[in-house]
Structure 1
Amino acid sequence: MERANQLIFKEKKRQNRVFLFGVIAVVLFSFVYLDVNILEIIVALPSFVQFIVSHFIPANFKNIATYAPLILETILFAVVGTYFSAFLAFFFGLLMSEQTNPILPLRMFVRICISLLRNIPVLVWASLLVYIFGIGNMVGLLALIFATIGFLSRSYADSIDEIGSTKLEALKSSGASFMQVLVHGLLPEFIPSWINWTLFSFEINIRASAILGMVGAGGIGIMIQTNIRLFKYHEAFSLIIVLVVMVLLTEFVVSQIRKKVS
């Protein structure tokens, strides 16, 4: 028995080594294929640091109050984009889950549609929507909603599938309606996952809202991009600091909420 355990342990070590060497080989091949020269990066690093220090520091907060509406826009993009998407994604999640949708063709159709939404990056959505709505808040909001619905629907469906079917089957066999099964069987088990996935998505969307602004979708990002193009690096740096603080505060608040609900 002991010898068998030793053989199993040696085999696992061999597999781990093979996997590690495989990863190293892929990384090295990627560097060579992309013609990335590490030495050039190391040599250019001092110049890059010098450029940042001389052009961006110190940050200029003189006009920061004038950007308050744009900062608020960025936050509201994330709020509306996340929680409107969370409402719609719950119903898509029900349609995608085997636990709540036994109709295979419908389930597969919804999964394919959601997969398309999920695999198109938010910046691609924004670039496409600019041609329809022009530059403005509508572009940023819709881009966030489309991308977030795809992500949350898949996450919700997986969470629903992970919920044990025993309780749901017991309710069904006792004659409970679909709504009774949903309210009394599924929701109590699903709500913690719903909260965690939605809060995680909100964190992501705070960052995404700022990035969307750089392609003309409104919010703080558009002013960061504008200031950099106008060589107003000190003002751009002040907005970058504000963005970092927003993200850190969001992560702190979200982590505290998670602790309360877990």
Structure 2
Amino acid sequence: MTTTNFLRMKKWKMTGIIVLLLVITYGSSMITDFDMLKGLKSIPGTIAWMATNLIPDAAAMENLPKVLSRLWETIVLSVIASTTAAIFAFFFAIFGSKTTQLNRPLAFCTRLIASVFRNIPVVAWALVLVISFGHNVVTGYFALFISTFGTLVRMFVETIDEASADGVEALNATGATYFQMVFKGVLPDTMPQMLSWLFYMIETNIRSATLIGLLTGTGIGYLFDLHYKRLDYGTLGLITLSIIVIVIAIEFTSNKVRRMIL
């Protein structure tokens, strides 16, 4: 096959994929009775309503200590779930990586477990765990932990495979033991990138923890749900602004730390 024919075939494939996506989008809008034009026209009115109703007033500011307390609970929960999940994910990634695997069956089982945990949404985990643990912070912790664990295992496996192959091969050639190979060949090369992924998951989990709080009755999500049911839009605006500020601050901090370690 010549280069021209290959490029022409690739172009037709891309065109076909785009047409298929357009057909699926149109079909979905027809099934759900979604009017794209009507949705776009409603945006200015929605923004105007938010600007009018979601402004924290004096009564809302009286709830600021309570909002900050619940927000702090959400942040702590996210950090603890992310860091503990990262520890377990590191060892699973060691066993699941092609570079450091002990044997293929164990590596396959490790990646399979991580895939199952990763592909089930965190909200689904929260709903399942509520049945077992009830509406409390433990449910939120395990929901975040399981989802984060599955994601980090995959990220850590890819990091180890990309960064440590040469170092592991050199250590194996010198007769190093398995644990010497892991802690002297893998860990130094991969730690910066793994820490970068950990900070990313902390950012993500703060946003996820807000949603999980609606289901588990904990953190800032619980407070949001409480005032939403009361139609207390001023406090809802305060909660929303607080979440936005915290997420931006943590993202700024984590980006700065990532630039320092990478």
Find the counterpart in structure 2 of residue 30 from structure 1: 28
- TM-superposed CA distance for 1:7, in Å, is 6.4
Q: What whole-Å deviation, never above 9, does each CA across 1:48-78 have from its counterpart, x for those lacking one?
A: 3444344323453232013322111011011
For structure 2, list consecutive stretches of 5 or more residues without a partner in the other structure: none
Q: Which amino acid aligns with 2:24?
A: V
Q: Could you give the per-residue CA deviations for residues 145-187 of structure 1, whole angstroms, max 9, x where no partner exists?
A: 1111111011111211223533312211221111111122111
1:84-115 per-residue CA deviation (whole Å, 9 max, x = no partner) reads 11111101111111211141111111222211
Q: Which residue of 2 is the match for residue 104 of structure 1?
A: 104
Distance of aligned partners of 1:172 and 1:54 in 2 relative to their CA distance in 1, 3 Å threshold: same
After alignment, is 39-48 or 149-158 more displaced? 39-48
Q: Which one-letter code corresponds to 1:249 in the other structure?
A: A
Q: Structure 1 unaligned segments of length 5 or more: list them.
A: none
Task: State the TM-score, normalizing by the size of structure 2.
Answer: 0.89
In structure 2, what is the equivalent of residue 139 of structure 1? 139
3-state SS of 2:180 partner: helix
Residues 1:11 and 1:131: Cα distance change in structure 2 (over 3 Å): closer
Structure-2 residue corresponding to 1:237:
237
Taking the TM superposition and a 5 Å limit, the aligned residue runs for 1:144-155 are 144-155=144-155
Q: How many residues align?
A: 259
Aligned residues: CA RMSD:
2.1
Instruction: Tell me, in whole angstroms, the C-alpha distance in 1 between the residues paired with 2:211 and 2:9.
Output: 46
Range with greater deviation from structure 2 (184-193 or 45-54): 45-54
Distance 1:191 1:115 in 2: 22
1:39 is aligned with what amino acid? L
Aligned to 1:118: 118
Identity of aligned residues (%): 27
* Aligned 8 A contact 2:71 2:219 in 1: yes
Match of residue 18 from structure 2: 20
Indicate whether 1:66 and 2:66 are aligned. yes
Letter aligned with residue 27 of structure 1: T
